Structure 1
Amino acid sequence: MISTIVMDFYLRFLYHTLVVPYNLTRIFAFICPYDIAAFHDIRDSDREDQAKQLCNSFKARTTKKGGRLFLIPYVQGDHWVLIALDPAKEKYEKLAIYYLCSASRQLNNRKDMMKLINKVVFLYRTDESLTVPRVKPFDQLFTWIVIRCPHQRPDSVDCGYCVMRFIKDIITHAKTSIFTKYYDDACCEEFGDAHINEVVEEWC
């Protein structure tokens, strides 16, 4: 499995080779994987402060007009997934949180992740005077959409590389919404050697 350092390096690579040259800074923003990974290493009593820090990361990179998709590589234990969302949608009913997992792990098994992201979005929208749902458990606040993305190879530890590939595909298509069935021109059942090697060669 790739490290947080490698994931952060690849995000920087994409920012300088795709996002900036193609004038996509108004469409995409990244949340540093260090900020998310740190959440799992702190005490429960400190998690409120951590959520506020992540909320401030959103504030620093977006506007009330919305239209910017945040790409958030998230690692828990030994597995990377990708979360994507625009926290500044005018109405919360239109806010979708996209979930891409190359191992098809169910959201029901990631309650902590859902609570964290929902809480950060809730804090952001409250601070920015945007509409929020009535009080619910934090893992049920917003709509999550599971994307039918390509899978990693069986018995592999390619999840990090798959997340890198997801991010690149999303940026290449330059849209703030993601099709449930992924992208027609990039969809496949499984990422093979060619898909993974392309990502590896880019940052090596």
Structure 2
Amino acid sequence: MFGIDRLDASLDNSSFGRPLSAGVSFKLEQDLLYQAHRHNTQEVRAHNICSRLMASKLNQLVLAPFNPGGHWALLAINAYDETVYYLDSLRTTSRVDFRYVTDMDITIFRSQKNIQTSRKQPIWKTVKASCPLQVGVVECGYYVIRYMRDIITNGSIVVTDLIDTRTSYSQLELDEVRMELADFLGGHM
């Protein structure tokens, strides 16, 4: 689970990469990822997302990459605005199970933070028209990483304004993400 905080530019040992733009930090919540990997249940996913939402600040997106089974997609959650952006490079993944978990987490967040709202459920925005479409069959994880990189680099909390409107990422852009990931993982071995 990742959080984008435009107010905190500090990075520590658990950081993924380096700041991608001034005032933006990209932190890897390693313990949450480890728990989610070991126990991929709705309860653990709900706990992990809720913990990250509770730690989030106003004007901060929580980026939650997830794999509902054989395919990676991305949720960008603005808990204070009760908006969830859904980015899927294949545009085919069913959202039923993680939508329930995410809606429940935002309800818990509102209750714990004592936020009053007239909405019964968060607003879900599927980023289709502007979300680059995956052309191969194995690149979904790299697309999710690239989506996160684009969101962080552009530094806004309105995801639909951040994602490039091309139909697909170029091979060079995906290779750039592969190299950054390899450098990061190589530094932790």
Shared fold per TM-score greater than 0.5? yes
> Partner letter of residue 13 of structure 1?
F
1:151 has 2:136 as partner: no
How do 1:46-57 residues align onto structure 2 when only pairs under 5 Å count?
A: 47=43, 51-57=46-52
Asked if the contact 2:15–2:28 (Cα under 8 Å) also holds between the matched residues in 1, the reply is no
> Partner letter of residue 86 of structure 1?
N
Question: Which residue, out of 64, 76, 79, partners 1:72?
Answer: 64
1:176 has 2:157 as partner: yes
- In the alignment, the residues of structure 2 paired with residue 58 and residue 160 of structure 1 have an alpha-carbon distance, to the nearest angstrom, of 23
- In the alignment, the residues of structure 2 paired with residue 62 and residue 83 of structure 1 have an alpha-carbon distance, to the nearest angstrom, of 15
Q: Which has the higher contact order (CA 8 A, sep 6+)?
A: 1
- In the alignment, the residues of structure 2 paired with residue 134 and residue 174 of structure 1 have an alpha-carbon distance, to the nearest angstrom, of 27
Give me the identity figure in percent. Answer: 23
How many residue pairs match? The answer is 166
The structural deviation recorded for 1:35 is: 5.1
3-state DSSP of counterpart to 1:18:
coil
Question: Which residue, out of 102, 120, 125, partners 1:117?
Answer: 102
The structural deviation recorded for 1:86 is: 1.4
The normalised TM-score by structure 1 is: 0.69
Alpha carbons of structure 1 residues 110 and 153: separation in structure 2 relative to 1, 3 Å: same
Alpha carbons of structure 1 residues 146 and 33: separation in structure 2 relative to 1, 3 Å: farther
Q: Which position in structure 1 is the counterpart of 2:19?
A: 18
Gapped runs of 5+ residues in structure 1? 5-10, 90-94, 136-140
> Partner letter of residue 175 of structure 1?
S
The normalised TM-score by structure 2 is: 0.74
3-state DSSP of counterpart to 1:117:
helix
Asked if the contact 2:49–2:102 (Cα under 8 Å) also holds between the matched residues in 1, the reply is no
Gapped runs of 5+ residues in structure 2? 2-13, 183-189
